[in-house]
């Protein structure tokens, strides 16, 4: 049998999110915004009030799906985003 599951991370604490261009886009009102400035904006967009997830949280989701504990899980869209998509929807 073939099982298909997917992991959908939101903003993660990686260079793709934590960079000056993203900070400037999130806080155009500041001349040189920082990660803390961006975090203020991003944390208002998630149900869990976190600005981003840690990479280890995404890795843990993948490890679960690769483990025997998920042997009967199939067709799952696992969202690891602190509730971003739930709040936006």
Sorted by where each begins, the domain ranges of the chain are: 6-88
Q: What is the pLDDT of residue 89?
A: 60
pLDDT digits (tens, 9 = 90+) for 16-31: 999 999 999 999 999 9
3-state secondary structure of 78: strand
- CA neighbor of 48 nearest in space, from 4, 10, 81: 81
Give the global pTM. Answer: 0.85
Q: What is the pLDDT of residue 43?
A: 97
Average pLDDT over residues 61-88: 95
Average pLDDT over residues 38-55: 97
Is 80:57 a contact under the CB 8 Å cutoff? yes
Q: What is the pLDDT of residue 34?
A: 98
- The yes-or-no verdict on residue 60 having pLDDT over 80 is yes
Q: What is the pLDDT of residue 53?
A: 98
């Amino acid at each position: 049998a073939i099982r298909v599951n997917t992991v959908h991370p939101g903003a993660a604490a990686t260079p793709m999110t934590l960079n000056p261009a993203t900070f400037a886009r999130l806080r155009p009102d500041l001349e040189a915004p920082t990660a803390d400035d961006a975090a203020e904006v991003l944390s208002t967009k998630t149900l869990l009030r976190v600005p981003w997830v840690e990479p280890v949280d995404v890795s843990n989701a993948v490890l679960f799906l690769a483990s025997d504990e998920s042997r009967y899980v199939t067709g799952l869209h696992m969202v690891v985003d602190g509730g971003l998509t739930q709040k936006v929807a």
